[in-house]
C-alpha cells in the first residue's frame, strides 16, 4: 500500500481550480490508474441536511471534480451514495442530496445518485466486530473512493478519512453501534474493524473550507485551502493530526490502529508529497470544547486507581440543551442511542443514562446542544 499523502492547494471552490487540483492529486496517486472498467462508488460526508457553505458536508464542487477525474480514467460506472445520520429512507435521502448540492452535480455529470436505501451484512474478520450491515453500494462496487471533509469531532477529536466510513452503516444503526460501544476506546476499535471490512480504495479530502471547534456539525468554518489524497486512510488522518496539533493517540481509532501495529505513532513528514509544504501545523486551530484528556490514571496514587474510571465519567464533558435555541424538532431524540432524550415542547436530556457520544450534538439543525464541563475542571 502507498503510504504517502498527496497535497494540492486550492484557495476556493471555483470549479476550474478544483478540477485542476484533483487532477494533480490523482495523477500522482498510483492506485488511481487502476480504475479502468471498474464500478466506482464515491462516498461523501453528508451527515445531515446542511448547505455546502456551512462546512459540514463534502462540497459538491469537489464531488464534481472527482467524478470528472474518475471518468477520464475509464471507470465503467460512477455512483454517489452515503447514509447520513438519522432515519434512512428515500425521501429523506433525496432531500439531503438536494440541499447538499449533490443532486444537481450527479444529474449534470451523469453519475448515479443512490436512493434505494438497501443494506446487507458483510463479515468483517475484525478483532472486535464479526460483521457489519452496510449500504448496498458499498458491497456492490469494485472501488470505493472516500470523500471526507476536514472537521473536528466532539467524540473522536478528528473527523476525516477513517471516521467518514461510519456513513457506510445505514441510518439509525449507527446509534446502535454507539450504544454497543459507548466508551471511546472500544468505539475506536470498532472503526478500525470497519475500515478493514469496507476496504476503501483511496480518499480525496475536502480541506478547503474546513470546520473547527465543536464539529462535526456545530463548529465554525475555517479556511484551510487544500485538498489531499491518500490510499492509506490512517496515514491521511495522521497527517491531519499533525496539522491540527492533535496527538494521534488521543484520537480513539488512531490509538486502536497504533496498538494493532497498523500505523506509526506520528506522521512522517517525508510522506507528504505533491505540495507537501501544505502539511504544516495550523496555528490556533480550535478543537472541540469537549476535547482534552480527563485522564488521572498516571497521576493518581496506586491505592486509589481503581476509582479513576468512575471519576473520569463524572468529570467528562456532557451535552446540554440550550432552551433558547431548541425548536423541539426531535432530531436529537431520534438519534440518541440510549433514548435519554425526551421532547415536550423543548428537548430534555436525562443525564443518568447519557453515554456522551454527542450524536445529539451532531444532528441538531439549529446548534441548540452545547457542551458543559464539570465546574471542578474549570478551576484546574
| DSSP states of 105-147 | HHHHHT-EE-----EEEEE---SS-SEEEEEHHHHH-SEEEEE
| Predicted pLDDT at 373 | 60
Residues with Cβ within 8 Å of residue 282, at least 6 apart in sequence: 224, 243, 244, 245
Distance CA 58, CA 61 (A): 9
Q: What is the C-alpha end-to-end distance of the chain, expressed in Å? A: 45
Distance CA 355, CA 296 (A): 19
Q: What are the residue ranges in the chain where pLDDT is below 50?
A: 293-299, 304-306, 308, 311-312, 375-380
3-class secondary structure, 41? strand
| Predicted pLDDT at 364 | 86
| Predicted pLDDT at 51 | 94
Q: Give alpha helix (H) positions in the chain.
A: 15-28, 60-72, 90-100, 102-109, 136-140, 161-164, 173-180, 184-198, 233-244, 252-259, 308-315, 331-335, 359-363, 375-378
User: pLDDT digit string (tens) for 252-272?
Assistant: 999 999 999 999 999 999 999
Cβ contact 194:168 at 8 Å:
yes
Residues with Cβ within 8 Å of residue 40, at least 6 apart in sequence: 70, 75, 76, 77, 78, 79, 141, 142, 143, 144, 145
∠ CA 139-147-213, rounded to 5°: 125
| Predicted pLDDT at 292 | 59
Task: Produce one character per residue of 355-371: b if its CB has 16 or more CB atoms within 10 Å, e if not.
Answer: bbbbbbbbbbeeebbbb
User: pLDDT digit string (tens) for 303-360?
Assistant: 544 454 554 455 567 788 999 999 999 989 988 888 889 998 899 988 877 877 788 8
Whose CA is closest to 219, among 333, 341, 328, 370?
370
Cβ contact 147:63 at 8 Å:
yes
Amino acid at each position: 500500500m502507498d503510504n504517502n499523502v498527496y497535497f494540492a492547494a486550492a484557495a476556493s471552490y471555483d470549479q476550474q481550480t478544483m478540477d485542476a487540483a484533483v487532477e494533480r492529486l490523482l495523477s500522482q496517486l498510483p492506485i488511481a490508474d487502476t480504475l479502468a472498467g471498474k464500478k466506482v462508488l464515491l462516498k461523501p460526508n453528508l451527515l445531515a441536511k446542511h448547505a455546502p457553505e456551512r462546512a459540514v458536508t463534502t462540497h459538491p464542487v469537489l464531488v464534481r471534480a472527482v467524478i470528472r477525474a474518475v471518468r477520464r480514467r475509464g471507470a465503467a460506472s460512477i455512483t454517489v451514495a452515503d447514509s447520513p445520520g438519522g432515519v434512512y429512507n428515500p425521501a429523506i435521502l433525496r432531500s439531503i442530496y438536494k440541499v447538499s448540492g449533490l443532486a444537481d452535480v450527479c444529474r449534470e455529470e451523469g453519475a448515479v445518485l443512490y436512493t434505494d436505501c438497501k443494506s446487507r451484512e458483510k463479515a468483517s474478520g475484525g478483532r472486535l466486530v464479526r460483521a457489519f450491515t452496510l449500504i448496498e453500494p458499498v458491497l456492490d462496487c469494485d472501488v470505493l473512493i472516500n470523500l471526507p471533509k476536514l472537521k473536528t469531532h466532539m467524540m473522536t477529536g478528528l473527523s476525516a478519512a477513517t471516521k467518514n466510513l461510519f456513513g457506510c452503516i445505514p441510518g439509525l444503526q449507527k446509534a446502535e453501534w454507539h450504544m454497543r460501544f459507548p466508551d471511546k476506546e472500544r468505539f475506536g476499535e470498532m472503526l478500525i474493524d470497519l475500515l478493514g471490512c469496507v476496504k476503501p480504495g483511496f480518499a480525496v479530502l475536502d480541506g478547503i473550507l474546513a470546520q473547527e471547534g465543536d464539529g462535526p456539525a456545530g463548529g465554525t468554518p475555517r479556511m484551510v485551502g487544500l485538498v489531499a489524497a491518500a490510499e492509506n486512510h490512517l496515514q491521511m488522518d495522521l497527517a491531519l493530526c499533525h496539522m491540527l496539533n492533535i496527538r494521534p493517540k488521543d484520537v480513539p481509532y488512531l490509538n486502536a490502529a497504533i496498538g494493532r501495529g497498523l500505523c506509526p505513532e506520528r506522521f512522517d513528514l517525508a510522506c507528504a508529497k505533491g505540495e507537501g509544504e501544505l502539511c504544516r501545523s495550523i496555528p490556533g486551530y480550535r478543537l472541540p470544547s469537549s476535547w482534552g484528556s480527563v485522564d488521572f490514571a498516571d497521576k493518581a496514587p496506586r491505592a486509589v486507581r481503581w476509582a479513576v474510571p468512575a471519576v473520569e465519567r463524572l468529570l467528562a464533558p456532557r451535552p446540554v440543551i440550550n432552551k433558547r435555541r431548541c425548536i423541539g424538532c426531535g432530531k436529537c431524540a431520534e438519534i440518541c442511542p440510549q433514548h435519554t432524550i425526551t421532547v415536550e415542547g423543548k428537548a430534555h436530556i436525562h443525564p443518568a443514562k447519557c453515554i456522551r457520544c454527542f450524536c445529539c450534538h451532531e444532528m441538531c439543525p439549529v446548534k441548540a446542544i452545547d457542551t458543559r464541563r464539570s465546574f471542578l475542571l474549570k478551576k484546574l
